[in-house]
Structure 1
Amino acid sequence: MTIRSAVPAELRVAGRRAAVQVGRASAGWRPVPDFLVIGGQRCGTTSLFRALMDHPQVRRPNLHKGVNYFDVNYSRGQRWYRGHFPVRGPGSQTRVFDASGYYMVHPLAAARIARDLPQVKVIALVRDPVERAWSAYKHELARGFEWERSFLDALRLEDERLDGEVDRMLRDPDHQSFNHRHHAYRRRGEYADLLAPFVAGLSAERVLVVESERFFARPAEQYERVTSFLGVRPHQPARFDRWNARPGSGMPDAARDLLRRHFAEHDERLGALLGRPPAWRVPA
């Protein structure tokens, strides 16, 4: 048991509220993020987050891995957002960041980020979208957010579940769609479409795409790409751990075939963005 877990839940909640109030009051002395990890879900974002936390020049939000500001908390305002970050003194070489696996897919997030943080850099992790969809399904099932016991049935229901949800979110920026957030198994793997508004709003130079297959196969090499992109000094964590992994076996063949056909065109367009085929499309 950790010291934090030993503290009663109501006291932890009260402490977080007090910290946010103090942060909001001192927002003028707090930075906005220098970079964002925008997802994707089940693509290794937690593993990269942990590795970034090891860098002596990088600082995370004070209370959470991610603040979820540009997706579900935008109405709280920028002072609320800035209040989550550590104070940075004049001339400091530290970089602060925020991470949310929902930023990449939320229909309003890219425009909000480009408008509010035009100089920000973003890092997107992508993974074989077939395996990502299966991992996400198991994740949502384990959390109780998915109740279809058949992955194929969940895939077949996706269009019905998401029908009209994006339009509703665009009409009502405060609307939070449960189905869009938890049941978008195919949609979250259509990476070229999801990355396009970030490239358009920020420029390709400010968007770094990291394939999780390459990150986990050669973490030191990919971490060096990340630190170079961020403009921080070279650094290597003592170890790279894989967080929140779920076993990848057991996907029904029919679901795999359906998804592989669905993502063929999307993978080609991602390859055009990367300048090479995605790692999962390269023969072993």
Structure 2
Amino acid sequence: MKCFECSCRGATIATVIAAALCLALPVLSKEEEFMPNQPDAIPTFLIIGTAKGGTTDLFGQLTAGPVNFDPDRPDPPFPHKSNKELAYLSRTGIDGIKMLPQKQQYMEYLELLGHPCGNAMRGSIFRECFTANATKLFTLDATPTYSFSAVVPLYLRELSGSSKVIMMIREPVERAESLFRHYVVTGTRWSDKHIDDLAIDFFKAINADKGLETALQQAANCSYGDVVCLANSWRDICGFTLMESQENKLFAAGLYNYALAVWRYHYFKPGRVLVMDSHAFFDRRMDAMEKVIRFMYGRPMLPSEQKLAEGVFHHKSTLKSPKMILSPPVRQKLSEFYEQHVIRGLFQTLMDMRDEGAWMFGFNGEPWRACPGFEEFNAAGKSKL
């Protein structure tokens, strides 16, 4: 991962000072603590995170028949036809007012989630149904589109403030290549493009819009611990046309530090968010699923869940034609962009979130080792054990 090591070099003086302060202060956060699932949480669980970061994989691990309908399972199952990629809350036309309990879009969302009261009439009949059935079924929404949305956390806060969220993060340069490759191999788009073309156009779009350039610089100037500044900056960035094209989202959706701030400011609660390193999820499936099950249900893995996790082998794609790989100069430019907007503050953000009660998994090996704050983050984590 030499290319990534380049993107993580050069910690600023501010980073060094912040790291020193973190080392000097006592660790105030407590060990991970299970928070009971709330029966009125709609949905019960959310899996969000970067595309090609493992959301589909994790969804399958949780909803596969052998584990979902295991007779020894002590928890409510998910709907028989649980659907991934609803992406309902990030669709055009969603209105926060209409998402309130028993309003039109709220009922539509319940039905899509497979909730037993999705088809119930409103009013007293709905309330009776909810009281009788809310604890008989868990609901699950899983999509990458929520992770970088500036409005979904607001909708969800009004809809249900008690859902548990699993957010998955993958090294941004590698993620962009992997997602581009996915689209090309599946024939969905960009069969006639080189990934360099998209990256160059992405930077051209930034340079052509002085307002966007200013918004990005303001975001980069926010101190790492200023969640309001980071969240407001991401809201402003999302208002530009850059985020409207799939080509630009290929790269802009990797700005995790800003997107995390919106969720952290508007929605995340102690004990109800798990931030997971996608690389560790792919490479250490058993450990990852053990953490997920403990976070979601507060119990050890069942034999059926262990068997399913053991049977997974992560196939790294060998379909890497030259058009699917960034050229060295373009890779370097993209790495420097992510270093400024993601890498420099990522581990400080993760450390702050952990101190606020968020669960963490991974981030203790490659490809993060050369990043600013890596050593401090993991040293503090070990001191809690």
Letter in 2 for 1:156: I
What does the per-residue CA deviation read over 1:102-154, in whole Å, with 9 as the maximum and x for residues that have no partner? 11112322222222221112111111111101112222334443366221221
User: Residue 158 in 1 paired to residue 177 in 2?
Assistant: no
The match for 1:199 is 264
Q: Number of residues paired by the alignment? A: 249
Contact 1:47 1:243 in 2 (8 A): no
Contact kept, 8 Å, 2:116 with 2:137, in 1: the verdict is no
Which residue identity does 1:103 align to in structure 2? Y
Q: Secondary structure at the match of 1:186?
A: helix
The structure-2 alpha-carbon separation of the partners of 1:42 and 1:229, relative to structure 1 and needing over 3 Å to count, comes to same
Q: Which residue does the alignment assign to 1:24? A: none
Taking a change above 3 Å as real, the CA distance of residues 211 and 114 of structure 1, as seen in their structure-2 partners, is same
In 2: Cα distance, 1:277 partner to 1:268 partner? 16
Deviation of residue 214 (structure 1)? 0.7
**Which residue identity does 2:202 align to in structure 1?**
E
Give the unaligned 5+ runs of structure 1.
1-29
2: distance between equivalents of 1:68 and 1:113?
A: 12
Q: Does the Cα contact within 8 Å between 1:61 and 1:98 map onto a contact in 2? A: no
Return the offset for 1:193: 0.8
Matched, 1:259 2:334: yes
Q: Deviations over 1:11-60 (max 9, x none)?
A: xxxxxxxxxxxxxxxxxxx9721111112101111111111114434415
1:214 to 272, 280, 288: 280
Match of 1:101 in 2: 144
**Contact 2:82 / 2:140 at 8 angstroms: preserved in 1?**
no
In the alignment, is residue 280 of structure 1 matched against residue 367 of structure 2?
yes
- For residues 134 and 184 of structure 2, the distance between their equivalents in structure 1, rounded to whole angstroms, comes to 47
The C-alpha deviation readout for 1:201-245, integer Å capped at 9, x for no partner, is 123523211111111121111112212222353223423436896
1:226 aligns with 2:292: yes
Alignment partner of 1:268 out of 344, 350, 355: 344
Measured after TM superposition, the shift of residue 277 of structure 1 is 6.7
Which residue does the alignment assign to 1:4? none
1:239 equivalent in alignment to 2:305: no
- 1:87 corresponds in structure 2 to 116
Query: Which secondary structure state, in structure 1, belongs to the residue aligned with residue 165 of structure 2?
Result: strand
Quote the residue 1:65 is aligned against: 84
**What letter matches 2:333 in structure 1?**
L
2:153 aligns with one of 86, 110, 116 = 110
Tell me, in whole angstroms, the C-alpha distance in 2 between the residues paired with 1:188 and 1:278.
23
Deviation per residue, 1:178-204 (Å, 9 max, x gap): 50x453122111111111111111235
Q: CA deviation at 1:169?
A: 7.3
Higher RCO, 1 vs 2 (CA within 8 Å, ≥6 residues apart)? 2
TM-aligned CA distance change 1:31 to 1:209, over 3 Å = closer
Equivalent pair of 1:44/1:242 in contact (CA under 8 Å): no
Contact 1:126 1:212 in 2 (8 A): yes
Alpha-carbon distance in 2 for matches of 1:253, 1:98 = 38
Partner amino acid, structure 2, of 1:195 = L
The 2-side partners of 1:47 and 1:233 are apart by: 21
Counterpart-to-counterpart distance in 1, 2:238 and 2:330: 29
Change (3 A) 1:260 1:204: farther
Instruction: Give the equivalent residue in structure 2 for 1:186.
Output: 251
CA distance in 2, matches of 1:60, 1:126: 27
Determine helix, strand or coil for the equivalent of 1:110. helix
Structure 2: 5+ residue stretches without partners: 1-39, 69-74, 96-103, 118-131, 213-234, 352-362, 371-385
Give 1:51's aligned amino acid: Q
Question: Are the aligned partners of 2:283 and 2:314 in contact in 1 as well (CA < 8 Å)?
Answer: no
RMSD across aligned positions (CA): 3.4
2:43 aligns with 33
**Paired residues of 1:131 and 1:248 also in contact (CA < 8 A):** no
Cα distance in 1, alignment partners of residues 43 and 81 from structure 2: 12
How many Å separate the matches in 2 of 1:167 and 1:263? 18
Q: Give the partner amino acid of 2:48.
A: I
